[in-house]
Amino acid sequence: LSVTVLDVRKALNSTKVRHIYWLDLVSLSTESQSSDIINIPADLLNGKSVDRIAINCSSIAGPLRLEIHPDAFRSSLQHIGHFEVAGCDLSRLDFDFLANSSRLMSLSITRSIHFRGFPPMAFLARLTSLRVYECLDFQYWNQIADRLPLLESLFLDGTQLGDRSVNKLVNSIASSPTGNETLQQLSLWENRLTRVPDGVSSFKKLSYVNFFGNAIRTIPRGSLAFSQDVRVTFLILSKNELTDIEPGAFQGDFSEALVYLDFNRLTRFDSAVYQDMLQQMSYVTSTAGLYVHNNPFVCDDCHLSWLIRDKRYLLKRVHNGRCSNGTQFENLNPRGYDHCLP
């Protein structure tokens, strides 16, 4: 079932509710079959106020072009906290309809094309959350540090930026007057990364990092060193090409962290890499844990003796550890490591 903007307007006109929490405009169709434009007119809300607005322009033929009148959401400019678009052609969108918003904190752009960049508008400087998801022609990462200086959450997922662009982006935020003090969540999954971006360890409040689905092969010492003043919540390195993690690669407070290293190519489980992290996790009664499913760990030498023989109590924090021959870590015999040095 598809609806037109006129249908939405009629529905809003007929309701007596003055305030709406979430207005989700999905399955929108154009006003005529010959058009490829979704046009949001002035005063769409008819005096109503809305906290969150989402617009989806997806069609079988591809993204429809979205045009929004500067006064489309005039009655709600003091209420909108979140705005998102999905599946839209943004070649005619300049965000002037949000220019006078006073409470907007979150912006999301999903699977859209022809994004024209972040305009130099005051509302952007107040944003604390930006999500750009699977926008393959997204090229405006270099505007983020200057025009969105107060970001706490940055999700650039599936944008395929590559190492060079991501390094410049992360360093520009870290070196900005406010960036290294405010950023708490950083997600860069499926961005063709082959290494951990420079500058990640310089953020003072960063507690959530997601590098899922890249091609990172090694994690050097100190490249994922978190501030001791924050507790890491999530560290996601699933589905990379990890073969080596250097001692001291993970630094910080992992006592309540969920760490995902599953679906990689790791063969060793060395104490210099994991013991401190697991020890921290063992001190608290939480769901903290290390997930290592689907790695070809070699279990017939001494690199596992510290865990299987000496500190077996830490095994409860290691989830789905399995040797390349299929044996689970929990089923390994501690006596099999008696020949190993402490």
Give domain limits for the chain. Answer: 1-115, 128-210, 217-342
Residue range 272-284: average pLDDT?
95
Q: What is the mean pLDDT of the chain?
A: 93
C-alpha dihedral, 188 to 168 to 277 to 230, nearest 10°? -90
In this model, does residue 32 exceed pLDDT 70? no
Query: Which of 136-145, 219-228, 311-320 is least confident?
Result: 136-145
Name the pLDDT band for 37 (thresholds 50, 70, 90).
confident
Contact 72, 40 (CB under 8 A): yes
pTM strictly above 0.75: yes
Query: Which of 114-118, 210-214, 265-269 is least confident?
Result: 114-118
- Please report the pLDDT score of residue 332 as a whole number: 96
Of residues 331 and 19, which shows the higher confidence score? 331
Residue range 29-55: average pLDDT?
83
Name the pLDDT band for 28 (thresholds 50, 70, 90).
low
**Chain centroid, CA 206 distance in Å:** 12
Q: Is 263 left (phi over 0), alpha (psi -120 to 50) or beta?
A: left
- Please report the pLDDT score of residue 169 as a whole number: 95
- Please report the pLDDT score of residue 27 as a whole number: 64
C-alpha–C-alpha distance, residues 162 and 143, integer Å: 17
Q: Is 49 exposed, middle or buried (0-12, 13-18, 19+ CB in 10 A)?
A: middle
C-alpha–C-alpha distance, residues 240 and 238, integer Å: 6
Give the tokens for residue 330: 């929990």
Q: Which CATH class is domain 217-342?
A: alpha beta
C-alpha dihedral, 122 to 128 to 129 to 135, nearest 10°? 40
